[in-house]
Every structure is written in structure tokens, then in C-alpha cells.
Structure 1
Amino acid sequence: MQIGLPVLREALRGINGTILAYGQTGSGKTHSLLHQSAKGEEAGLLPRLVASLFLMISQDVANVYDVEAAAVQVYNEQVDDLLNPDHQNGQGNNLNVRDGGIVTGLNWIRCMKPDEMLEAFTRARANVVYAETKMNKASSRSHAIFQLRISKRERVFEAAKTGQKVECTIARLNVVDLAGSERVKKSGSEGMRFQEATNINRSLLAFGNVVSALAARKSHVPLRDSKLTRILDGSIGGNCRTCLLVCVNSAFEHVGETLNTLEFASRAMRVEVDAKVNTALVEVSAKNLLADLNPEAHEFGKKVMADKKEIEALRKQSAEAAEQAKKEAEKREKVPLRAFRMPSLLKAMASNPTAVASNLMAAASNLE
């Protein structure tokens, strides 16, 4: 969660985020990202992100959130909607991808609770293509992208009779389970598996070329060479916080693939991003504005306003006290120090009371 939490916090501010798992087949990418477990410490990154997201939302009563989930896979250079209700019958397949990685016709599911989102992602994962190879009993044969869209706007604490336009932040958070690169001789892929492996390696090569171009700051970045890189347009080297989770196999026989993976990660570290907060004006209906005024939020709103007034009053008092202290300090600087040295004062009064009285009168006139 040390990888995912900073990206999630930025997404709640309105900054796009992407977390990619990269490595050879069988190195643990899918388990690290997607594994669901009743024991929290064994859960993958995506379930932890979902739980943390709704926990943070529940603690932020000052804002209203709208959270949606979607999922796609890139299988044999074809983009498929994993949450289409008729996915098994071929619906939602071969979708188009626009600039910025926007998939047209994609199903977005609004989620009010973490269980709803986890259930949606579980259904999506069930539609991902897996197959057994010599290197992995459940090898991903496609690249899977799980998406969260988070909208946030300030809660309205005064009743509104009509709808109004309000500014909100909109961020998209992608969790990308890349299919692992594989050598056909090691995996033993034949027939359909061989075709899948060829397309996987081809798309990973295109992804590597994009990263290399971004790291070298080339003017042309070949994002159109693959459906995978088309979807990741905007997620790498653009307006996005991007993290790379590198998975390697510790076995000596895979040292070549491990070195290639680490070299790729080294290039990716040189890619610069320019992430910004994404804002938009949205029309909020009177009904939704009225829903903002639930008892808990209303009480919170009154408390916020009261706290603001109290803080402002304290600031004013502090400024006045500082100004008064400054004036007192200036007055003290004008008073002869000898007038406040008590041992000397007492001694002087005993010997010459007239002179002491004259000094005290002079000090008093300086204080006025």
C-alpha cells in the first residue's frame, strides 16, 4: 500500500493516477495487484485501494464524492469491456480508443460502498482471459486495466431552490495488470496460446518504445503502435502520477528476463510527468443540493462556519495583542533604566529624595 496510497491521495485532489505492474509471466503481478483475501495483510493492491478510498471519503464530510468503476482488457489487439452485462455473448468487444486513453462505449458503474466496487471488479476479473502454460498455471493472456473515476465537489450548506453550476475535481485512477512477457520456448505456447504470446510481446515492445521515447524526450512518441499504448496515452508521461510495480522471478534460469525487466524500470524512472488538478463546472440539480443537507452534514457545516468565525476572531485578537505589545515595548525603551533598578532607587531615596522624585516624574511623562 506504500505504492498505492500516495497515488490515491493525489486522485482525491483531482490528479490522475496510474499504477502498472510489469514483469515476466509468473512473477506475481496479478497476485500483487488483484488478490482478494479475508485477511487484510494478504490482500492485493486494488482491494486495499478500494477500502482506503471509501474510508477517506467517509471521513471527509465537507465534500460530496461520486465514484465509478470500469474495467477493460486488451486481448489480441482488441479492447473489450469487462463489465458489459453481455460480455459472454460478445457484447462490448473491439471498442474504439480516443486520444487521452478514453474508451468509447465503456460501462461505468456507480458505487456507493466498497463492497459494490469489489464485486464489480471481481466480475470483471472473471472475464479476463487466463490460460495455463509451462511457466504459469493461470497466465494472463491479456492486459487488464481496472479504472476508478472520482469526482469531488464542496458540500452546499444552504438550501437551494434551483440547480446550479459548481466547480468539481475529476480524476481517473488506473490499476494496470500487464500480461507478462514470455519466451515461447520456455512457456511451450502453441496454437492459440502462441498467437496470444505474440500479441502480448508485440504490445509490450510498443510500450517499451513509448517509455524509451519519453525518457529520451523525443518529439515523437509512438503511442499509436498498439491498443495498449493508446489506452495508456495520458497515463504515462502526461498529466498523471504514474507508479511502476516491478515484479521479477528470483530463479537463476530467468536471470535474462529479470535483467531486461530491471533495465526497463531504469528507463521508466527517467520519464518526467506534469500532473495537474483536473477541474470542471458541473450542473448540480436542486434535489442533489438538497441531499447535501442531511443532518450530519448540516451539523458539520454549522460547526465549520462557527470554527471559521472563531478562528477569525482569534486572529483579530492576536493581531491586536501583538500591536499592543509593540507599543508597550516602544514605551519601555523611552524609560530611563535607572528608574527601575530597585536597590539603587532605594539607596538614592535615602540620600536625595528630591532628585529621585524628579526622575520618577520624568519617567512617567515618557509613558504618556
Structure 2
Amino acid sequence: MREESMRRKLHNTIQELKGNIRVFSRVRPLLGDELLGMDSDVPQHINFPDPDKKILELEKLAGITPNEVCESVASVRRGSNNKYEFQFDRVFPPSSTQTEVFHEISQLVQSALDGYNVCIFAYGQTGSGKTFTMEGRGTGDNRGMIPRSVEKIFATRDDLLSKGWIVSYLVSFLEIYNETIRDLLVQSRSQADSTKHDIKLVGPNTNEVFVTDLTTVEVQHQDAVQVLLKRALENRSVAETKCNERSSRSHSIFRMKITGSNSVTAESCVGLLNLVDLAGSERLKESGSQGQRLKETQNINKSLANLSNVIMALANKETHVPYRNSKLTHLLQNCLGGSSKMLMFVNVSPKEECFQETLNSLRFATQVNQCNIGQAQKKVK
């Protein structure tokens, strides 16, 4: 039993030495009609010069106007040495598989099992592959980070039981749509629309929050979680814009609370795993949003700006961190501060005409990567 306690301590010490905020960049492959008129299926303006896969180089090609987003470009001329280099904890080129990506985050999932708050989220412009990274597609090799994380958690259950642990898993899944919380685990969209949810403090002497009237399900095996994930996918808000024919119009947050106790060692812990698929940023002009789509885009961009403000306030160690300026940051405040471990995927579109949005995303990710929020704290009951 002492060996298990030592393993947990060493594992999380290593994770803290890596940094409690980490940033990975992932470039999706060119797909379908994007390949028309291309000499190669590899993006010509994005290079990966580092064999250690930590550097991404973005090159401005001649013939592309910065605001020429979501327009088809048949051919471009290579310009001068107008290059931008970015360094992250890990860079995934278009050829990277879901298995490779999960291998790099699996140790953070282990930290949630060990009693830490963990937040992994996908950020980037619309159509850059965030939902594929987090949710994936189907039940084969294209499974995303959410189903793979669930698989890992349940794969450890028998081992924990053999060492005297009693563990329970509580799952919830919600979306934040136009600054309104919707429960994705209800039976129908109409039911989700009719119930009002608020964010409340768990108690007077804590910053921990919960969502009122939110469906939480105690799950005993991973198949039960797969059923819930399918229901959530059916309930999530998506719509077509000029930039993406199936654009996520909300931030989705999958949460698993892991509670464990060991009568042999008298240990106990509570871990919280948050896996977040953020709605994609869009320029209003290029997205062609009108009416309800316009309102959605404005709320998406505003909440992403508030997320940026919170992270910068943490980085600057400001006395006031504006968590309450948006539902997203208010709900995630316990997973964005110094008591947690956080990883951000900055997802990148390979389309050359999306150069400016890509540059903006990578610059923001660089700011996040330079943050130091302090040492994560294990949560004990």
C-alpha cells in the first residue's frame, strides 16, 4: 500500500515540474474539397522543423489578404521570409493520430484519479478540429480524448479495488449557449431549454461551485458513459456558418468527479476531470452570421475574450481575477487557478486563407504557455 502512495506522490511531482499550465498545438489535415487544386495534402504554410515536435513555424504566403478568411484560394505564390515561430510543450502535425495525442494527456487523467482538479480544453477558430480532438468520431481509432479518458479511468478500477480503494464516479455534461447553461444529459432538447440552471457556491468557506438542477449520473462501467456521451452529442447546439458547415455554437463541458477512500491506508481524495470543447472563434464579417447566428457568434467571442482575461490575470498574479464575467470562467474557476492542472489544445486549421485566425490563436496560446499559476493542490475529503 505504501508503494501506491509513493507512486501517486512521485507521479504528481513530475507533472508539477512539467508545469501546471501546458499547451499543445494540433494542426488538422486538409479534408475533402480543401484538397482541390493542391499539389500536396500537407499544408504549405505550416512547417514542423523540430524533431522533438515542440516547434511550429507559420509562413505568410504571398497572395493572401489577412482578412480573406473562409474564401477558397486555388493557388498562391511563396512569399519572402515572413515567418513566425512558436514553441509549445508539444506540437502535433496533421498526420498525428488520436492515440498519439491521448498518450500525451493520459498522465493528467491519472492526476484526476489521484485527487487533483484537472482541466483539458480545446481552443481555436471554427473548423479547426476541436470537437474531433475532444469527442472524436465513432468507436474505433478515431475516438476522442473524452471517451479515451473514460476508458483509462475504468481500466484502473480493478487495480484500485485490489489495493483497498472504494471509488465512485459521477458524470455530468453541459453546454454554455448564449451565456445560458444547458444540461446535455436530459432526454430531449425541449427539456434542456425549459430548465434554468445557476452556478452556486458549494459552501460558505469554499470557492468550489456547482450547477443547480443539473443531471449527474453515477456510473459503474464505461459503457454507461458511452450512452451518456451519445445523448449529449444529440442535444448539443450546432449550426452552419460560412466558415463551418457544422459549427459548435456552444462550449461543452464533460465533468467526471472521482471520489475515493481507502480503509487500509486511511487515505481519501476527490478528483475532478473537466474536458472542454470550446466553441470556435469567428470574425463576424467572414462568418456571415445574421439573426440568431449573429447573437451566438457575439456571445462565443465575448466568452473567449473573458477566458483570455482570466488567464492573463492569473499570469500577472492580479489580486482580482474576473471569473464571474462569463459563465464559462465562473464554472471553471476551480480548474483554472493554482489548485489545478490545466492543458490547452490550440487547434489549427491547415487552410492558407485562415492565416490571420491561425496567427491570432497561436499568439494567444503562447501567452497561456508563459503563465505560471502556482502548485496544484490535492483535494482530500
Q: CA deviation at 1:52?
A: 0.9
Instruction: String of CA shifts for 1:301-356, please: whole Å, max 9, x gaps.
Output: xxxxxxxxxxxxxxxxxxxxxxxxxxxxxxxxxxxxxxxxxxxxxxxxxxxxxxxx
Could you tell me which residue of structure 2 aligns to residue 135 of structure 1? Answer: 243
Could you tell me which residue of structure 1 aligns to residue 222 of structure 2? Answer: 114
User: Structure 1-normalised TM-score?
Assistant: 0.70
- Point out which structure has higher relative CO (alpha carbons under 8 A, 6+ apart): 2
Rounded to whole Å, the distance in 2 between the matches of 1:36 and 1:168 is: 36
Instruction: String of CA shifts for 1:166-193, please: whole Å, max 9, x gaps.
Output: 6521111000000000012222111110
Could you tell me which residue of structure 2 aligns to residue 299 of structure 1? Answer: none
More helix as a share of residues: 1
Alignment RMSD, CA only? 1.8
Aligned pairs (5 A) from 1:183-202: 183-202=283-302
Change (3 A) 1:238 1:104: farther
Residue of structure 2 aligned with 1:100, choices 208, 231, 239: 208
Q: CA deviation at 1:50?
A: 0.8
Rounded to whole Å, the distance in 1 between the matches of 2:333 and 2:178 is: 19
Partner secondary structure for residue 134 of structure 1 = coil
Residue of structure 2 aligned with 1:124, choices 232, 236, 239: 232
What runs of 5+ residues in structure 2 fail to find an aligned partner?
A: 1-101, 201-206
Rounded to whole Å, the distance in 2 between the matches of 1:90 and 1:236 is: 27
Residue of structure 2 aligned with 1:37, choices 129, 133, 138: 138
Rounded to whole Å, the distance in 2 between the matches of 1:242 and 1:90 is: 29
Q: CA deviation at 1:94?
A: 3.3
- Matched-pair contact (CA < 8 Å) for 1:92–1:106: no
- Matched-pair contact (CA < 8 Å) for 2:188–2:235: no
Could you tell me which residue of structure 1 aligns to residue 65 of structure 2? Answer: none
1:75 and 2:177 matched: yes
Rounded to whole Å, the distance in 1 between the matches of 2:263 and 2:150 is: 22
Q: CA deviation at 1:95?
A: 1.1
- Matched-pair contact (CA < 8 Å) for 1:65–1:150: yes
- Matched-pair contact (CA < 8 Å) for 2:122–2:346: yes
Rounded to whole Å, the distance in 1 between the matches of 2:188 and 2:248 is: 21
Q: CA deviation at 1:155?
A: 5.2
- Matched-pair contact (CA < 8 Å) for 1:17–1:235: yes
Could you tell me which residue of structure 2 aligns to residue 49 of structure 1? Answer: 149
Amino acid at match of 2:358: T
Instruction: String of CA shifts for 1:49-105, please: whole Å, max 9, x gaps.
Output: 111111111222221210111011111111111113465234674311134342222
Change (3 A) 1:101 1:20: farther
Amino acid at match of 1:84: V
Rounded to whole Å, the distance in 1 between the matches of 2:351 and 2:313 is: 31
Rounded to whole Å, the distance in 1 between the matches of 2:227 and 2:208 is: 27
Instruction: String of CA shifts for 1:234-265, please: whole Å, max 9, x gaps.
Output: 11123111110110112221111111111111
What runs of 5+ residues in structure 1 fail to find an aligned partner?
A: 158-165, 281-368
Amino acid at match of 2:123: Y
1:21 and 2:122 matched: yes
Rounded to whole Å, the distance in 2 between the matches of 1:50 and 1:90 is: 24
Could you tell me which residue of structure 2 aligns to residue 279 of structure 1? Answer: 380
Partner secondary structure for residue 238 of structure 1 = coil
Aligned pairs (5 A) from 1:189-338: 189-271=289-371, 272-280=373-381
Partner secondary structure for residue 259 of structure 2 = strand
Amino acid at match of 1:75: Y
Amino acid at match of 2:347: C
Rounded to whole Å, the distance in 2 between the matches of 1:42 and 1:122 is: 15
- Matched-pair contact (CA < 8 Å) for 1:36–1:47: no
Sequence identity of aligned pairs in percent?
36
- Matched-pair contact (CA < 8 Å) for 1:84–1:92: no
Rounded to whole Å, the distance in 2 between the matches of 1:208 and 1:134 is: 25
User: Structure 2-normalised TM-score?
Assistant: 0.68
Could you tell me which residue of structure 2 aligns to residue 10 of structure 1? Answer: 111
- Matched-pair contact (CA < 8 Å) for 2:182–2:192: no
- Matched-pair contact (CA < 8 Å) for 1:87–1:93: no
Residue of structure 2 aligned with 1:58, choices 158, 177, 186: 158
More strand as a share of residues: 2
